[in-house]
Structure 1
Amino acid sequence: MMQTTKVILLRHGECQGGNILRGQIDVALTEQGEQQMQTALSTLFLDGFSSDVLVSSPLIRCAKVAQQLAEEYGLEFALEDRFKELNFGDWDGQTFDTLYQHYAQELDSYWANPWKIPPPNGESMQAFESRIGAAWQAMLEAHQGQCVLLVTHGGVIRHLMAKALGVSQASGFYTSLKLPYAATVEIDVLHDGDKQYMSLNWGKRT
C-alpha cells in the first residue's frame, strides 16, 4: 500500500552571538528570533496545518521553542541528536572577521568544496550527511504516513533539499539555496513498498 509521509522543515530563528559561524555551539535565540519562529508557526497553523509529531535538534536555538510548541498543542515530542548542525571544530562559534584573519585560504577552499577537507578538528561533510541520512530514515520508519514537523538547522535543511532533488556533492549548491531564519520547507515522501520517492513541495499546503 502506498503512503505519503509529509515533513515540514522549520529552520530556527535569529540567534545570539552576532556574525559567528554557528555549528554545534549552543546559543539561544534573540527575542526577534523567538518572534520569527512564533510567526512562522502561527502561519502554519492558520493554514490548517496539523502535525502528528514534532522532532527537534537538541540545540537550544531549536529545542526551546519546539518544546513549548509541543506542550501548547499537545504534540508527541522527540529530540534527535543527529539533526544537529555540522560541527565546525576549531572554527565553531568564531566570528567571521576572526576566521578570515586567521583562516582565509582554508575557509575559501572549504566553501568551494566542503567535501574535500573537513574543518580543523571538525566534522567532514560525508559524516554530516551520513548522520542526517540515518536520522531521516529512522524518523520516516517511525512515523510513516504521518505529518512530521522537524525543527532544525540551515545546513541540515539544505542537505535534505539537495537529497530530495537528487543532487549530491555539488560545490556551491548549498550556498545557492537561500534559507532565511524561520523558513519552512515541505518534503513529501511517497512510500511504495520498500521504495521511497522524495519531492520538494512548493505549493500551498492542503
Structure 2
Amino acid sequence: MQNTNVILLRHGQCEGGNILRGQVDVGLSKQGELQMKVALAAVFESKNASTSAPDVIISSSLIRCSGPAKAFATSHQLPLFVDDGFKELNFGDWDGKTFDALYQSDAAALDSYWANPWLAAPPNGELMQDFETRIELAWQDMIEQHQGKQILLVTHGGVIRYLMSKVLGVSRCAGFYTSLKLPYAAKVQIDILHDGDTPHLSLNWA
C-alpha cells in the first residue's frame, strides 16, 4: 500500500473588491500576498505527522494562484505544474461584476442559480456538471502522475469545495458551494491510501 497526501490551499485575498470572481484574472492584494506567505511558510512547518514538506506543487493557471505558487516553487526549488483543469468556475457574463450590480440587474436569476447551480449555467458561463468533470479529470491525472508524493495544490474555493464533497461522498449539494465557508488562504488536506486499484480518500481538516 502507498500513501499520497494532497494539501489544498486556497489563494489569498484578491484585488477588485467584492466581485463574483470566477475566471476573471486578477492578482492578489497586498493583504492576500501576506496571507499566502504565511500559509505557504506554514506548509513547511506543519506538525501533522502524516505530512512532510511538499514534493511537488500544482497550481491553477489563474494568476492569483500561479503567482504565489511560482514564487514558492522557485524559492524552495520544487517542481511546479500549472493546470487549467484546476481553475475556478467560469461565471460567463456575471464574472468580474460586483455583487451589488448583479443583484440590481439579475437578482432572480442569481437566487435561482445559487439554490441549484446544476439546473442551468450562468449566462454564457460554464455548467456546474462541466466544472466538476473538469476538476475530476485534472485530479485523476494529478494523482496518476504524482502517486505516493506530498502534493501542494494551490487553487480556488469552488475547486476545494468540490473535492471536499467528493471525499465525503456527497453529490449535487448546493450547500457545499453556498454555505461552506473557506477563508482566503484556507488549507485542507486529503489523504489517499492506495490499496491495489482502489484509492481510499479521507479528509484531514486540522
Q: Same fold (TM over 0.5)?
A: yes
Partner of residue 141, structure 1 = 144
Q: Which amino acid aligns with 1:43?
A: A
RMSD: 0.9
TM-score of the two chains, using structure 2 as the length reference: 0.96
Matches within 5 A, 1:88-127: 88-127=91-130
Amino acid at match of 1:77: L
Structure 2: runs of 5+ lacking an equivalent: none
Aligned to 1:44: 43
Percent identity over the alignment is 64
Cα distance between partner residues in 1 of 2:205 and 2:45: 17
TM-score when scaled to structure 1?
Answer: 0.96
Alignment match of 1:131 (pick from 134, 139, 142)? 134
- Report the Cα offset of residue 172 of structure 1: 2.0
1:41 shift after superposition = 1.1
The answer on whether the counterparts of 2:91 and 2:122 sit within 8 Å (CA) in structure 1 is: yes
Cα displacement string for residues 121-154 of structure 1 (whole angstroms, at most 9, x for unaligned residues): 0000000000000000000000001010000000
Give, in whole Å, the separation in 2 of the partners of 1:11 and 1:172.
Answer: 18
Q: Secondary structure at the match of 2:106?
A: helix
Matched residue SS, 1:5: strand
- After TM superposition, give the deviation of residue 193 of structure 1 in Å: 1.4
What is the identity, as a one-letter code, of the residue corresponding to 1:120? Answer: P
Q: Could you list the structure 1 runs, at least 4 aligned residues long, displaced by more than 3 angstroms after superposition.
A: none
Unaligned runs of 5+ in 1: none
Does residue 1:184 correspond to 2:161, yes or no?
no
Distance 1:3 1:177 in 2: 31
Deviation at 1:195, TM superposition (A): 1.1
Map 1:52-71 to 2 at 5 A.
52-71=55-74
Task: Show CA shifts across 1:31-52 (max 9, x none).
Answer: 0000000011112212264011
Contact 2:162 2:176 in 1 (8 A): no
Provide the residue aligned with 1:156 in structure 2: 159
User: Aligned partners of 1:20 and 1:104: how far apart in 2?
Assistant: 15
Amino acid of the residue matched to residue 42 of structure 1?
A: A
Distance 1:110 1:199 in 2: 30
Match runs of 1:27-42 below 5 Å: 27-42=26-41
CA distance in 1: counterparts of 2:79 and 2:179, whole angstroms: 34
